[in-house]
Amino acid sequence: MSAMPDQHKLWLEKAEEDRLCIANELKAERQPWSVICFHAQQAAEKYLKAFLVFHEVRPDRTHDLRALVARCASFDLKLLELDPDCRQLNNYAVDIRYPDVAAAVEEQVGRDAVKLAERICEAIRNRLPY
């Protein structure tokens, strides 16, 4: 158990804000799919960082989900199964926020990003005490 058991909860709270943004945007009259993809990536990132903090590891300042999940796997090898999801969500960390780099995101891509993030969040949630 972590020496500072509540610290990981701060990361989870921030991740839940990203998930709330997704839920709100999915209910909107018009969905900003690139924003939804960004928040999906952010939720997954924060859940992975929460897992590391719980295990008393200070997470790197990175958006690279693959690097984060690899670090998490040092505590639970089964988490490596999330690497393909992390690889896909990495596409939505930075470039998707800029008009000169990002291509238009279609609905199915956005919905898929949400599913990937939910899989990652659930896997971590199942490994952490709340």
> Can you give the residue ranges of every domain in the chain?
7-125
CB 54 within 8 A of CB 4: no
Tell me which architecture the domain covering 7-125 has in CATH: Up-down Bundle (1.20)
- Grouped pLDDT means (10 residues each) for the chain, 130 residues: 72 98 97 95 98 96 97 98 97 81 79 98 93
What pTM value is reported for the model?
0.92
Mind spelling out the 3-state secondary structure of 89-100? HHHHCCHHHCCC
Q: Which two tokens stand for residue 85?
A: 């999801």
Question: For tokens 């590891």, what's the residue?
Answer: 57
